[in-house]
Chain A
Amino acid sequence: MKRKTDLFPYTLLTPALSVTILIIFFPIVQTAVMSLFNYVIWKPKDTRFIGLGNYLQALQDEVFWISLKNTVFWIVGVIVLQLLLGFVTALLLNREFRWRGLARSLILIPWVTPSVITALMWRWMYDGNNGVINDLLVRIGLLKSYFPWLANSSTALPAIMVALMWQGFPFFAIMILAGLQAIPRTLYEAAEVDGATRLQMFGRITLPMLMPILLTSILLRIIWVANSMDVIFVMTGGGPGYATHTLPVFAFIRAYKGLDFGYASTIAIFLTLLLIAIVAGYVIRVLRTQEALR
């Protein structure tokens, strides 16, 4: 075998690799470089190297800390909501009934819905004057009068989190369902013979057997949720005040509205550093489970 001299596999990889280097690695390096500069696009004359100046500025920036706090709250809240609803959905879909296939297909629809449409639909439903959610809540007596969910700084972020739960729970449902279906039936049969209750079976068989897939999906999801900002941007634009600023929203607004590319790059780098541990955890898990890599 001339394994070492065989260039054919590398030739096949060349197009994808060179494009990746050109449009991903080179730009990332550029972000890192820009974060060391005072670089506001409409003030080209003021561009100069300031070392870690942007980083020090961020650490003293109140908005940065608010965004960081919101990011953590956002990640934990969205993941918990999606996971709980996804889990319940998977348990239900794991039982046999006639319209199971149809139900599974319909439940997946939110997952492919464009973020802008998700954001617009929910913004309209939360509307303070004509929103259907307000009307429903008043009708069943949970609310005395209409409430401006997205215009109030204490309810805006939780309200968006519900919209994201809607968009993302199908992912957990499908992953957990696949995990449930991989658990051998015989385990449950044996437990039944031994007189285990359903709750015991859930705690001693279902949960431990699901652990690997739960962990993998949660890690993958944390990365996705941490980065996802289009729904927030369209629903509130980061407001009211800074109530719905997460780190990516903050960076995007700085770049998009302020055209302050140096500072925006710095925020982006901070976010990346925060995510690296989670990405590493995910990669290690994939390495262990992915057959493709063997």
Chain B
Amino acid sequence: MTRTLHLWRRLLGLHLPVLIIVLFALGPFIWMFISSITPETDLYGEVFRYFPANPSFQNYPRIFQKISFARNLRDSLIVAAATMLVGLAISLSASYSFSRFRFRGRNYLMIQFLVINMFPIVLLLIPLFVIMRVLKLIDTYFALIIAYSTFTIPFSTWMMTSFFNAIPKQLDEAALVDGCTRFSAMTRVIVPIAMPGIAATGIYIFITAWNEFLYAAILTGNKVLTIPVALQNLIGEYNIAWGLLTAGGVISVIPVIVLFFFIQKQLISGMTAGAVKT
């Protein structure tokens, strides 16, 4: 008797609410997927259907024919991968320096890297457009890689500093004793150990660059066209091709979710580490 009561209480007070929240989190995706396999006649039909009578995947090949979606995928991939490499290359030595050395101006510089991540994006977007125009970089990969570095460098510097901090300093000292220079102690000993954290940071940069819309909308659009802008362009004033849009959405979101599951743990620990300790 008490056992069944207990079971019911857990079911109603725990499992059911968690299930509702999970459904709320996934609902839009489920609906996006169902819409993408619904023929247009059903999508705008008289009778509202929660699942199409004749599901079909025709929207998926169609989006590659109607717009240059393969090219958009390629552009997004190039920009995201290049942003990741540039971001890691530039912030790696900076975060090692913050983690390993105590020098004059260190706190000030670290805070500076924290604060610049908080400036409104419009504050940078406007002058960057002007600069890119002068440098004739509008509508090139460089424009986006440079623009994205404005938020990836400060972010990854902080994130990798916390990963480096987790590696004991004695390892550096041992490397020096064994004949490493200070530079090779970093590159040959510490960096390989920090690889999981560096990889997680890199993947996170990749995801944010892949997702970015505002800079891409203003700095590119013809020769270079990333997925978010391409999808936004599908929205006309009156006719919106929801079948195509939802199919494009599904394709573009899959890599993000897959990559995210790989780095979940590191990302959460990086996110919460600073805030929890008091």
Contacts and interface: CB of A to CB of B under 8 A. Distances in A.
- Does B associate with A? yes
Interface of A: 3-4, 6, 8-10, 12-13, 15-17, 19-20, 23-28, 30-31, 34, 41, 85, 88-89, 92-93, 95, 97, 103, 105-110, 112-118, 120-122, 124-125, 127, 129-130, 132, 135, 166, 170, 174-175, 178-179, 182, 212-213, 216-217, 223, 226-227, 229-230, 233-234, 248, 251-252, 255-256, 261, 264-265, 267-269, 271-272, 275, 279, 282-283, 286-293
Interface residues of B, number: 100
A216 B28 CA distance: 29
A174 B119 contact: no
* Residue among A106, A109, A279 with the highest chain B CB neighbour number at 10 A: A109
Given A13-B94, A16-B91, A125 B31 contact: yes
A117 B252 contact: yes
Contacts of B149: 19, 23
A93 B245 contact: no
Contacts of A17: 94, 109
A255 B123 contact: no
Interface of B: 10, 14-15, 17-18, 21-22, 24-26, 28-29, 31-32, 35, 43-44, 48, 50, 89-91, 93-94, 96-104, 106-107, 109-116, 118-131, 146-147, 149-150, 153-154, 157-158, 161-162, 165, 182, 186, 207, 210-211, 213-214, 217-218, 228, 231-232, 235, 242, 245-246, 249, 252-253, 256-257, 260-261, 264, 268, 271-272, 274-278
A16 B21 contact: no
17 contacts: A12-B96, A13-B109, A16-B91, A17-B109, A27-B128, A31-B124, A97-B18, A109-B25, A115-B211, A116-B232, A170-B25, A227-B121, A229-B214, A282-B118, A287-B111, A292-B161, A293-B110
A124 B257 contact: no
A291 to B, nearest CB: 6
B241 to A, nearest CB: 11
Contacts of B228: 114-117
B257 A268 contact: no
B120 A272 contact: yes
The 5 closest A-B pairs by CB, nearest first: A16-B94, A114-B211, A27-B127, A12-B97, A9-B101
A251 B122 contact: yes
A130 B43 contact: yes
